[in-house]
Amino acid sequence: MTKNNSIAPFVKRKPHNEQAARKKGQRHPDNRPESVFANFPLPGGRGSGRAGTLNNRCVSRELRLGRSLALPNNLYSQTPSEINRARVVFNYATKNGLIDKPQRFGDGFERPSKKAMLLNKAARGPKTFQADELRKLIGAATQPMKAMLLLGVNGGLGNNDIALLPMTALDLKANWMVYPRPKTGIMRRIPLWPETVKALQGWIAKRPVPKDEADAELVFLTARGVSWGRSINDRPITHECRKLIDKLGIIGGRGFYGCRHTFEKVGGEWLCT
């Protein structure tokens, strides 16, 4: 599918500064259906979406794409949200004359049941690492992955937290990290293990020179001196951790974010005892 004959990008697309607009109490203009249709050409017309209409062939392809979300082997935590977003696009198209008649989605486009979601989640296996698996990962990892893994399991830091971690958040003399979570802004004050401090000191001693001044305050930089933060389609921390997991023969669909899940699970169990 290309952008010219598919509405798939409309369902997935999220505005880059949606959070800033929400803070101002406004709805981001690119998050409105009319803006979504206006910014992408549609079949049947040239130029902006206002000039064209969705044809039956296009709708049929998108329904097959949407229905595939509800297949048993395709269930995941955001499947209901994906189906809802697809419905919103078609409903807007109907109300504004972009399609001739309301779209019939059929039973195959229904949201999966809670039972189906839970069974699928169980079939995928645990999201957490066992203690021996973490020891293997940390023992075999080189810098900076060793320090990243320790921060993940020591403080529950996720991929984006690691990528955006500033030098000012670390107090390695006092063994503390004070760092608001970028996703929510919630302040976190985390005591650092001696192993984590040692790994961070070892990494900072060999940290590459930043290529861009905007990245100068970041703790973690790649070998080329740039940030580990990328777009959703290019996740270097995830990829590097996956290489290590595969090399050690650790099975299961877990990645770097499994360190945060492990921290959450073990920490939660400890608080309950």
Amino acid (one-letter) located at 58: C
Burial pattern 2-35, b for ≥16 Cβ within 10 A else e, equals eeebbbeebbeeebeeeeeeeeeeeebebeebee
User: At residue 101, does pLDDT exceed 90?
Assistant: no
* pLDDT tens-place string over residues 191-221: 999 999 999 999 999 999 999 999 999 999 9
Task: Check: pTM over 0.85? Answer yes or no.
Answer: no
Q: Where are the alpha helices (DSSP H) in the chain?
A: 8-12, 18-23, 33-39, 56-68, 79-95, 114-123, 131-140, 145-155, 159-163, 194-206, 236-248, 258-272
Peptide bond connecting 144 to the previous residue in cis, omega within 30 degrees of 0: yes
Q: Which residue has the higher pLDDT, 84 or 67?
A: 84
Q: What is the pLDDT of residue 106?
A: 72
Q: Which residue has the higher pLDDT, 108 or 118?
A: 118
